[in-house]
Amino acid sequence: MKRIAIDMDEVMADFIAKYLLHYNRDFNDNVTHERLHGMHLRQLNPELESHLRECLDDPSFFGDLPVMPNSQEVVRELSERYEIFITTAAMEVPASFAAKYNWLKEHFPFLNEMNFVFCGDKSIIDADYLIDDNSRHFKRFKGQGLLYTASHNVHETGFVRVNNWLEVREYFAGI
C-alpha cells in the first residue's frame, strides 16, 4: 500500500485563521488572509516575531485550530486506499505536541495514532507523497511533493500544487 504523509498546519489545520484572531485583537488591526497574499506572517509587522512566539509557546494554542474545509472527508477517503501518516514539524514548537496530538484525535479519529509523526526534517519520512505548505520539506524528500496553497507560498513555482482538499481528491483520483 502506498503512503501519503500530510502536514498539519496550513494543510489540515488553519493556523493562520486562529493566529489572525490573536493578532487583530492584540494589535487592534483587521488583517485578513487576503492581505497576507504572497508573504509570511513575520513580514506583516516588525513586532510580530515576539507576539508569534508567545502564541506558539502557549501549549493550548494548537488545541482549537479550525479544520481546513473538506480535509476530514478527503483524508478519510484516502485512508481507504493509502497508508496515511500525519507529519508535523513539531520540533520547531515543542509546546505544541500534546495539543496537536489531541487535535488530531478529535478531528481525525479514524486515523491510526501510531502514524502521527512529530518531527523536524521531513526527509526522514518514507512515503510516496508529501502534502505540505512548505516547499523546503520537498528538497530531500524522496517521494512526490504536493504543495498545498497557503498565503506564504502563492508565488512559488516548480512544484505540483493543490489549492484545497477537493483538488487533493482530484489528484489522487487520477492515480
Length of the chain: 175
The edge-to-edge listing of strands for the beta sheet with 144-148 is: 116-118, 83-88, 3-6, 129-132, 144-148, 160-162
pTM for this predicted structure: 0.95
Pairing of strands 116-118, 83-88: parallel
Lookup result for grid cell 489522487: 172
Rounded distance between C-alpha atoms, residue 133 and residue 6, angstroms: 10
Task: Indicate which CATH number applies to the domain containing 113.
Answer: 3.40.50.1000
Distances (CA, A) of 109 to 4, 70, 95, 169: 17, 15, 22, 20
Best CA proximity match to 111, nearest among 59, 76, 146: 76
Q: Which domain holds residue 89?
A: 1-175
Domain count within the chain: 1
pLDDT (tens digit, 0 to 9) for every residue of the chain, 175 residues total? 999 999 999 999 999 999 999 999 999 999 998 888 898 877 877 777 888 889 989 989 999 999 999 999 999 999 999 999 999 988 989 999 999 999 999 999 999 999 999 998 899 999 999 999 999 999 999 999 999 999 999 999 999 999 999 999 999 999 8
Residues classed as catalytic: 7, 9
Residue 13's Cβ-count burial label (10 Å; 0-12, 13-18, 19+) is buried
Instruction: Give the Cα-Cα-Cα angle 158, 163, 165 (nearest 5 degrees).
Output: 130
The phi and psi torsions of 142 (rounded to 5 degrees) equal -85, -15
